Amino acid sequence: MEHFRKLGIIKPILKSIEDEKFEKPTEIQEKAIPLILAGQDVIAEAATGSGKTLAFASGIIEKTEKGKGIQTLVLTPTRELAQQVATAVSDFARYKPLKLVAVFGGVSINPQIEQLRTADVVIGTPGRILDHIGRRTLNLGRVNTLVLDEADRMLDMGFIDDVKKIVRECPLERQTLLFSATISADVARLARKYMKEPVKVAAETYVDPKKLTQVYYDVPDKSKFSLLVHLLEHEKAGLVMVFCNTRKNTDFVANNLKAVGINAMAIHGGLTQDRRDRVMKQFHSQKAYVLVCTDVAARGLDIPGVSHIYNYDIPKYSKDYIHRIGRTARAGKEGIAINILASRDYDSFRGVMKLKDVTITEERLPDVKKVGIRWKERPKTFRPRPGTYRR
């Protein structure tokens, strides 16, 4: 506990850290917490799994007082991350109870309106936050700490204008903390515009390259699915994530895996909130062990115990590859990333191979039994306009 005390963390949080049995601070906690507690604006280059939530929670919990209005706003790109951050912050605030309210779309707005009346800390996604501001059910006039979590993803998802509008609703006199796995030019621009002399810190991702094996198989297009089934059946695995580039492929792969008796579930942005919650519950309780997902849906989810990452589609943007592999080989555990590429992935794969510190070796194709594929009806979801590419 001494390590955490030295960072200046207040007693009630130290007690909850003790409950969590954390032995020592992670790199990002070590670097960011003293700055955050000193009231500095901080840009932290840190991915999910780095321990970033405790880093900003230690500042929020210290500063926020119960019953004095909304003093903290945390913006997250996805509903899942909003829920996850809310749970983590309330765990760390166990001995200094604060009223935390998670606010995101896809669920009824009325209970949120009621809860917001007495909230101390609000954690939410940009769309629903703006909705509340428009209805005058959320007033940010007393916010003294603004956290932009997963800022790069928030911008990738097209939330830039929403984020700007929300930031302008907060008082100028405030502390702004920005967490992002990568600091792109857009993220840097956002920081320049809305932060005051921010201090930059960075931490290596939690992924230990020595513990992560990365391989690829080069297969004919029509054999991709058969190879996936073969590997899932023959590789001894814990939890498995299979990444696809589109919602359509995600449904296709999950449905066909189920058809051959593999316990798979799909998660992507087209599902209702209720459905996404149920999928995550099943995966967390390990009732389903294969989660087929898009980058956006997987982003920010903290799922311990993922042993295998399959790239059924190679990501178009190489930085998504880094996010994907960051889901495994965490906290000292072994992990493997398996890329299944066909000719349509070659361009994207060339981009991935150029990434710094990424070494992917080719595996020989095993003898694979041909698996029949069914094109099932997609579950009813919001249908994008023709020609739009949704993840």
Residue 308 β-bridge partners:
240, 336
Residue 52 CB, nearest approach to ligand AMP (Å): 5
Q: Which stretch binds ligand AMP (CB under 6 A): 35-43, 49-57, 334-342, 345-353?
A: 49-57
Q: Which stretch binds ligand AMP (CB under 6 A): 42-50, 132-140, 338-346, 377-385?
A: 42-50
Which of 40, 53, 112, 307 forms a contact with ligand AMP (CB under 6 A)? 53
Which of 51, 77, 126, 315 forms a contact with ligand AMP (CB under 6 A)? 51
Task: State yes or no: residue 25 binds ligand AMP (CB under 6 A).
Answer: yes
Which of 9, 16, 36, 49 forms a contact with ligand AMP (CB under 6 A)? 49
Which of 22, 63, 183, 351 forms a contact with ligand AMP (CB under 6 A)? 22
Q: Report how many residues bind ligand AMP under the rule CB under 6 A.
A: 12
Closest residue to ligand AMP using C-beta atoms: 53
Task: State yes or no: residue 59 binds ligand AMP (CB under 6 A).
Answer: no
Q: If DSSP codes are grouped into helix, strand and coil, which group holds residue 204?
A: coil
Q: Residue-wise over 169-204: b if at least 16 C-beta within 10 A, else e?
A: bbeeebbbbbbbbebeeebeebbeebbeebeebebe
- Give the chain's radius of gyration (CA, Å): 21
Residue of 319, 260, 328 lying closest to 295 (CA atoms): 319
Task: State yes or no: residue 52 binds ligand AMP (CB under 6 A).
Answer: yes
Residue 241 CB, nearest approach to ligand AMP (Å): 16
Q: Which of residues 270-329 bind ligand AMP (CB under 6 A)?
A: 302
Shorter beta-carbon distance to ligand AMP: residue 49 or 124: 49
Shorter beta-carbon distance to ligand AMP: residue 140 or 207: 207
Residue 306 β-bridge partners:
239
* H/E run at residue 159: none
Q: Report how far apart, in Å, the C-alpha atoms of 140 and of each of 67, 87, 136, 174, 225 are.
A: 15, 22, 10, 11, 49
Quick check: 214 and 336 in contact, CB under 8 A? yes
Count of beta carbons in the 10 Å neighbourhood of residue 150: 26
Q: Residue-wise over 290-304: b if at least 16 C-beta within 10 A, else e?
A: bbbbbbbbbbbbbbe
Which of 48, 145, 245, 294 forms a contact with ligand AMP (CB under 6 A)? 48
Residues that bind ligand AMP (CB under 6 A): 22, 25-26, 29, 48-54, 302
